[in-house]
Structure 1
Amino acid sequence: MLVETAIRAIFGRAAPQEVDGVVDGSAQVSDVTATLENQHLDGTGDKADEKGPKQQTDPPSIPICDLFPDGNFPVGEEVEHPIANDSRTGKNRFTDPEKKAMEGMSQDQYREIRQAAEAHRQELESTARKLIKENGLSAGLAFPTGCSLNHCAAHYTPNAGDPTVLGYDDVCKIDFGTHINGKQLLDQTAHPSGQRSLLHCRRNIIDCAFTLTFNNKYDKLLEAVRDATNTGIRTAGIDVRLCDIGEAIQEVMESYEVELDGKTYQVKAIRNLNGHSIGPYRIHAGKTVPIVKGGEAVRMEEGEVYAIETFGSTGKGYVHDDMEVSHYMKNFDTGRVPLRLPRSKQLLGVINQSFGTLAFCRRWLDRLGQTKYLMALKDLCDKGIVDPYPPLCDTKGCYTAQFEHTILLRPTCKEVISRGTDY
């Protein structure tokens, strides 16, 4: 459903076709993101029968919480935890009464994260705002929709006036997220260390990505990266070392080759990109999941949420900052910094109220009615209050692909929260 939705949002119909060497359509990337953000925000579209059980419209327009009024949202794919090399985990967790009881204590968290996941499955930026009942920092989009093209692997979304056009031979990475109730709750039980448990934290950010192509010559590239992501998901689990996941991902990814225009390329894992743990209002919460061997021997822990994402490239397998910045995020660890410019103070207030420490882009500031803010935004970046995140690119002329899912490490099993019918 998600891939089909992306194609429909981009072209208003099925994917473009090549006929006698001529492509029958293309789309401007700025128009794509405008469609994804603005479609259905006014609540237009077919309405469900108010008297009977609600069913989703096509395109989706009914908020997820209205489709599931009892709060029992669809469960993601459930997979048993693997048994680590030292047999520390996996055994009998699926049926262990104690582990099941622990899960029962976290059902509120699970319901909220599944609600965000269901909104994520059904739509992109456009309708996601409506489906999740966007409400400031309580519910909404977790970060801007990435639509990085070709050699650009991540962190590209068009700024206003961007003339970039999406065509038949492009490789487009669609990367976006939703969140709901991202507030951190502490277990009130005191521990000998004096710290409180974070077992019941709200970690309700869903991060998922896929790669969209129209020319089947890229199929092997996409297959390699999709297989690598699924390998990472299979390998992940409680007490599994992060370095072991990276080694498994690289072995699978780099076993693939792709032929493009008569030349054969090995698919390389992009070694300086990785997956990550997810925390409340923090898309990168501290732990990294490498996609090559040689990572840290830190272990995954019960109750954590991870984005398992992999990137493959026909280039060098290494990305660098390039192109105009569109992504920004408030620094999570920066304390109070004095600001002299009134415009900077005003813009920081907007960022705090609308995004908190979640990522945002210039288009979202435009949508909030902000104008002539570039100098103030630069001032916030120069003072370390806001961090810019430039597009990450490999060698020009190469092609990159990305696939990603969010997993929840429940006591009894791991749940692939973002798994859908078509990905």
Structure 2
Amino acid sequence: MTADAVAASSPPAPDPDLEDAEDDVDDENPTGAAGTDAAKKKKKKKKPKKKARYPWTVHVAEFQRKLQAAKPTQSDPPRVPLSQFFPSGGYPLGEIQDYKDDNLWRTTSEEKRQLDRLTMEDPETTYESIRKGAEVHRLVRQHARRNIRPGMSLTEIAENIEAGTRALVDGDGLDAGVGFPTGVNLNSCAAHFTPNAGDTTILKMGDIMKVDIGVHVKGRILDSAFTMSWAPEYDQLIEAVKAATNTGIREAGIDVRLGELGGLIQETMESYEVEIGGKIYPVKAIENLSGHTITPYQIHGGAKGKSVPLVKTNDQTRMEEGDYFAIETFGSTGRGRVVEQGDCSHYARIYDVPNVPLRLTSAKTLLKTINKHFGTLPFCRRYLDRVGESKYLLALNHLVSQGIVNSYPPLFDQIGSMTAQFEHTIILRPTCKEVVSRGDDY
């Protein structure tokens, strides 16, 4: 039977509008007549509201909308505390690299995997403090790399970075905050320069700038650096130093001898050359700078810290399981050696501070301020200004002369040379190597 035939033979479907109308008539005229006064007073029936076929979909959509609205959004520049994005406290892992050669067994060793799990699951583990610092570093530096331009003052650059760090860790002291003064080192200056109050230095188009940023959480310092330039002639210098840092990371591992690692870094670095102004310059590893271990509240690992040389040496010291290293390399178009020069800005209280009687009352007061706000973390004169100290140079120099505070003046290669730096921090975990500061940018 065709569809037309079926339709013709079937009774017509009731019209809902007609049914409603009939109901209305019956209500108003229950006897079928014109209706009595009592019947007229009866109220007309209201149609029931149509219910949603799937009522739960409305609630799900509303829940999703509210959930989306509740998610925090990072500001620009980044100033929203990182804890709002990771309320459970689990922060992103860094880049995982397998160990090489004789240490490959660690990847599958059940004993080492269990040791790694126990460390990861410990709520007080240093891993999570380091990873939080790493995520803060990535956000702050990526904003800096997008926004730093010639014409900005070095003070503006450094203070923007430090403001972001303090906001994201939601701290400014011994529990969390800036790990060390932000280095903004220009041209032949390789390290340890940050502007003091009143510095008016402006970044210029022909400059090459090393930006060294530190973040600490519970004393665990994340140390990572990069180089910026707006002159294409320095591209090969920058590439050489970045490649040397990556070699150091790749070849680092448990039982690796530090002197041999330095030789591999040097070999990579010095395989490059740079053409500047029509003249060819070999890239030299800066021999008296190095990478280093980092221990709680001590950027250079304290008295028992290990150094990662940038040239081959006879150092037979080995890297060990659990070591936390800053792998940093410096390259130069100059002599490949730095000297202290210029106005000092970086300081740090010595870890095992000697019991020395201080004859200056101002020095005693300043030492209390340093202990309260910085402990053994590096600080600079701008930070003393920030916590309200003034006219402190005599007291500060007295603390240095008494062996209580170390000073770290800027480090320069020869005049006219150009230097570059890259740096990452790594953990030598029981099963693998974690490059905690790695990001999409470098």
TM-score between both structures, scaled by the size of structure 1: 0.81
Provide the residue aligned with 1:29 in structure 2. none
Q: Greater CA radius of gyration, 1 or 2?
A: 2
Retained in 2: the 8 A contact 1:408–1:417?
yes
State how far apart, in whole Å, the 1-side matches of 2:312 and 2:385 are: 42
| Further displaced range: 126-135 or 373-382 | 126-135
Q: Does 1:224 align with 2:237?
A: no
Provide the residue aligned with 2:100 in structure 1. 82
Retained in 1: the 8 A contact 2:354–2:403?
no
State how far apart, in whole Å, the 2-side matches of 1:113 and 1:359 are: 18
Instruction: Find 1:353's aligned residue among 361, 372, 381.
Output: 372
State how far apart, in whole Å, the 1-side matches of 2:336 and 2:318 are: 26
- Give matches, 1:149-188, under 5 Å: 149-182=186-219
Query: What is the percentage of aligned positions where both structures have the same residue?
Result: 54
Q: What's the offset of the Cα at 1:295?
A: 4.2
State how far apart, in whole Å, the 2-side matches of 1:173 and 1:49 are: 42
Instruction: Find 2:104's aligned residue among 87, 91, 95.
Output: 91
State how far apart, in whole Å, the 2-side matches of 1:100 and 1:247 are: 31
Provide the residue aligned with 1:415 in structure 2. 434
Q: Deviations over 1:26-67 (max 9, x none)?
A: xxxxxxxxxxxxxxxxxxxxxx99952223222212111221
SS in 1 for 2:209: strand
Instruction: Find 2:387's aligned residue among 359, 368, 384.
Output: 368
SS in 2 for 1:111: helix
Instruction: Find 1:120's aligned residue among 132, 137, 144.
Output: 137
Q: Does 1:332 align with 2:351?
A: yes
State how far apart, in whole Å, the 2-side matches of 1:315 and 1:148 are: 16
Q: Deviations over 1:336-387 (max 9, x none)?
A: 2111211111100000011111110000001111110011001101101011
State how far apart, in whole Å, the 1-side matches of 2:67 and 2:329 are: 42
State how far apart, in whole Å, the 2-side matches of 1:252 and 1:153 are: 19
Gaps of 5+ in 1: 1-47, 183-203
Retained in 2: the 8 A contact 1:229–1:249?
yes
Coordinate RMSD, CA, aligned:
1.4
Provide the residue aligned with 1:254 in structure 2. 270
State how far apart, in whole Å, the 1-side matches of 2:392 and 2:126 are: 37
Retained in 1: the 8 A contact 2:191–2:411?
yes
Q: Does 1:323 align with 2:323?
A: no
Q: Deviations over 1:65-84 (max 9, x none)?
A: 2210111101000001122x
SS in 1 for 2:228: strand
Provide the residue aligned with 1:65 in structure 2. 83
SS in 1 for 2:78: coil
Provide the residue aligned with 1:139 in structure 2. 176
What one-letter code is carried by the residue in structure 1 that aligns with 2:95?
Answer: E
SS in 1 for 2:108: coil
State how far apart, in whole Å, the 1-side matches of 2:172 and 2:78 are: 18
Question: For the structure 1 residues 50 and 363, does the alpha-carbon distance in structure 2 shift closer, same or farther, using more than 3 Å as the test?
Answer: farther
What one-letter code is carried by the residue in structure 1 that aligns with 2:165?
Answer: A
Q: Which has the higher helix share?
A: 2
SS in 1 for 2:107: coil
State how far apart, in whole Å, the 1-side matches of 2:231 and 2:177 are: 33
TM-score between both structures, scaled by the size of structure 2: 0.77
What one-letter code is carried by the residue in structure 2 that aligns with 1:118?
Answer: E
Retained in 2: the 8 A contact 1:246–1:295?
no
Provide the residue aligned with 2:150 in structure 1. none
Moved over 3 A (4+): 48-51
Provide the residue aligned with 2:41 in structure 1. none
What one-letter code is carried by the residue in structure 2 that aligns with 1:116?
Answer: G
SS in 1 for 2:111: helix
Provide the residue aligned with 2:127 in structure 1. 110
Retained in 1: the 8 A contact 2:172–2:178?
no
Provide the residue aligned with 1:267 in structure 2. 283
| Larger RCO (alpha carbons 8 Å, 6+ apart) | 1
Q: What's the offset of the Cα at 1:294?
A: 1.1
